[in-house]
Amino acid sequence: MLIESFLDYLSLERNYSERTIENYRVDLEQFRDFFREEDCTLEWEVIDVDIVRRWIVYLMETGRKASSVNRKLSALRSFYKFLLRRDVVKINPMSKVQGPKMGKPLPYFVKEADMNRLLDEVDFGEGFEACRDKMIIETFYTTGVRLSELVGIDDRDVDFTANRLKVTGKRNKQRYIPFGEELRRSLLEYMDIRNNQFCLRLTDALFINSRGGRISKATVSELVKRSLSKVVSMNKRSPHVLRHSFATSMLNNHAELNVVKELLGHASLAATQIYTHTTFEELKEVYKLAHPRA
């Protein structure tokens, strides 16, 4: 009867939707079934915080996600506030209950096999723009730079003697990123094609648009989305996905966290640790070899 009175209150006084009311019904009935299985003499009026916590443990152990558990606890909190206002209970057992912390979503990344297919097998076409588009994808994947950092790179920032790239990150903080021989050859080839087509460039930018000016973030984002759609079907296809792919690959192949932190230009390890939430063993199923373009 208490559940029905509460649901009537939600419907008639709070104007909750039928779907929300039905979800509340299911959540409350599940909790009632749980505590009565624990002790068939228990009633809503005598439930304490320990019983609620045992229910949380039970839900988590049976595979419920934190978001699902917190939704159920929200229903229970609303129910006990209702019971307090009706003087059915004197103490709210939910006042000292904390739900499980919501985990941050794991970053999207492209599998190594898909990146190899994109860079080694997919035909980008002929001419300057095709070469540039492929070069941009390769630079993102092998250096882990941000979108803003990539469009800000000038020719003078590429050191072919030391095989390193200077980028300007957040708060104008500069850092150097090493690159391998494969990227070195690709960059030289791209710059040769670019310089032949644009004898008089409007900018010192490494990556330029079809008119000879510095390429825009919007253009880069669109070409990345278009290129990734050739090898993956996931909804998120952005430059940041390629940055995630770089970091994930590096860590999975035993790069130290501090090293990846410096390469990515993170201010603290906390930002880099998101990539460790998926275990190395799980990632090894995806990444069998060391980073293919280091």
What's residue 294's pLDDT? 42
Active site includes 81? no
- Count of residues for the chain? 294
What's residue 64's pLDDT? 84
Nearest-angstrom CA–CA distance, 63 and 86: 35
Q: For residue 225, name the pLDDT band (cuts at 50, 70, 90).
A: very high
Q: Which residues contact 221 (CB under 8 A, 6 or more apart)?
A: 147, 238, 239
Q: Residue 279 above 90 pLDDT?
A: no
Sorted by where each begins, the domain ranges of the chain are 2-96, 112-284
Residue 72's nearest CA partner among 58, 86, 87, 88 is 58
Q: Rounded mean pLDDT of 133-155?
A: 96
Superfamily of structural domain 112-284: Intergrase catalytic core (1.10.443.10)
CB atoms within 10 A of CB 22: 12
Catalytic one among 80, 275, 287, 291? 275
Tell me which range, 33-42, 92-101, 273-282, 284-293, is most confidently predicted by mean pLDDT.
33-42
Q: Which of 47-61, 134-148, 176-190, 219-233 has the lowest mean pLDDT?
A: 47-61
Catalytic one among 146, 194, 214, 261? 146
Q: Rounded mean pLDDT of 29-38?
A: 93
Active site includes 243? yes
**Pair 246, 274: CB distance under 8 Å:** no
What's residue 106's pLDDT? 65
Q: Rounded mean pLDDT of 71-79?
A: 94
What's residue 103's pLDDT? 65
Catalytic one among 266, 287, 291, 293? 266
Active site includes 275? yes
CB atoms within 10 A of CB 224: 22
Q: Residue 33 above 90 pLDDT?
A: yes
* Angle value at C-alpha 50, between 60 and 70, nearest 5 degrees: 40
Catalytic one among 170, 173, 226, 236? 170
Q: Which residues contact 284 (CB under 8 A, 6 or more apart)?
A: 252
Tell me which range, 66-75, 93-102, 154-163, is most confidently predicted by mean pLDDT.
154-163
What's residue 278's pLDDT? 47
Q: For residue 229, name the pLDDT band (cuts at 50, 70, 90).
A: very high
Active site includes 53? no
Q: For residue 277, name the pLDDT band (cuts at 50, 70, 90).
A: low
Phi/psi region, residue 125 (left: phi>0; alpha: psi -120 to 50; beta: rest), is: left
Q: Residue 291 above 80 pLDDT?
A: no
Nearest-angstrom CA–CA distance, 190 and 197: 11
What's residue 293's pLDDT? 53
What's residue 105's pLDDT? 66
Active site includes 16? no
Active site includes 86? no
**Pair 38, 31: CB distance under 8 Å:** no
Nearest-angstrom CA–CA distance, 161 and 192: 17
Q: Considering the domain 2-96, what is its CATH architecture?
A: Orthogonal Bundle (1.10)
What's residue 19's pLDDT? 92
**Pair 136, 224: CB distance under 8 Å:** yes
